[in-house]
Structure formats: structure tokens, C-alpha cells
Amino acid sequence: MGKTCKIASCNKNKTITNLFKVPKHSLNKDKWLLFLKSNNISVDGSEIYLCDSHFKDDMIIKSNSRVRLTDNAYPSIDPEQQHPVKPKITIISNERVET
């Protein structure tokens, strides 16, 4: 069985081009953990892989045939949130409300 992206809502049928292992040490470890936690992934010491669709383009370095993450990279794109988000309507009123 091959490695797969750990994100449950990630489309497993698509062709995964790159998988990145969750680093033991990262400049943005807090952000990694926050992302994993928000996706209900428990960090228990086992190897966790995420595919490249969760990283912004500028966090991925492509050189020659190798692909790696920048030192300060962290996952920030939740596949669930790639769908258009309904705009929140904020009503701003300057009217004074008499109570």
C-alpha cells in the first residue's frame, strides 16, 4: 500500500504528485499542529503525509526533479474550504437604537 494524504476529505482518486512528510522540526510547528488538529489527525509519532494541495505555491520548491518544502512551509489549505465560501453579510448601521 502506497503512501496517501492523511487529510480525510482530500480527493484520493486524483493523481497525487507530491507527498510531504510532516517534519519533526519546523519553524512553523504550531501551524502544522493546528492544521492537523483541525483535520482531526492525531499526532502520535507515526509518519504523516500531506499532499501538495494543502500548501501554497510559494512554499513548494521545485528544482530539477526534486520537490521539497521551504523551511518555513506549513499546510494552510483545507480541501473543505476550497469550495466557495458563502459571503458573510455584515450590516453596518450607524443608527442609534433607542432603548
Question: Site for Zn ion (CB under 5 A): how many residues?
Answer: 4
| DSSP element (H, E) containing 30 | helix 29-38
Among 7, 22, 36, 69, binds Zn ion (CB under 5 A): 7
Q: Which is nearer to Zn ion, 28 or 49 (CB)?
A: 49
Where does residue 81 rank: exposed (0-12), middle (13-18), buried (19+ CB within 10 A)? Answer: exposed
Question: Which of residues 7 and 73 has its CB atom nearest to Zn ion in the complex?
Answer: 7
Q: Where are the beta strands (DSSP E) in 23-65?
A: 49-51, 60-63
Q: Report the nearest approach of Zn ion to the CB of residue 14 (Å).
A: 9
Helix/strand/coil for 51 = strand
Nearer to Zn ion, 9 or 70 (CB): 9
- Residue ranges in 41-70 that form contacts with Zn ion under rule CB under 5 A: 51
Closest approach, Cβ 5 to Zn ion, in A, equals: 3
**What's the rounded Cα separation, in Å, for the pair 32 and 50?**
11
- Round the CA-based radius of gyration of the chain to a whole number and report it: 18
Q: Which is nearer to Zn ion, 5 or 69 (CB)?
A: 5
Chain residues binding Zn ion by CB under 5 A are 5, 7, 10, 51
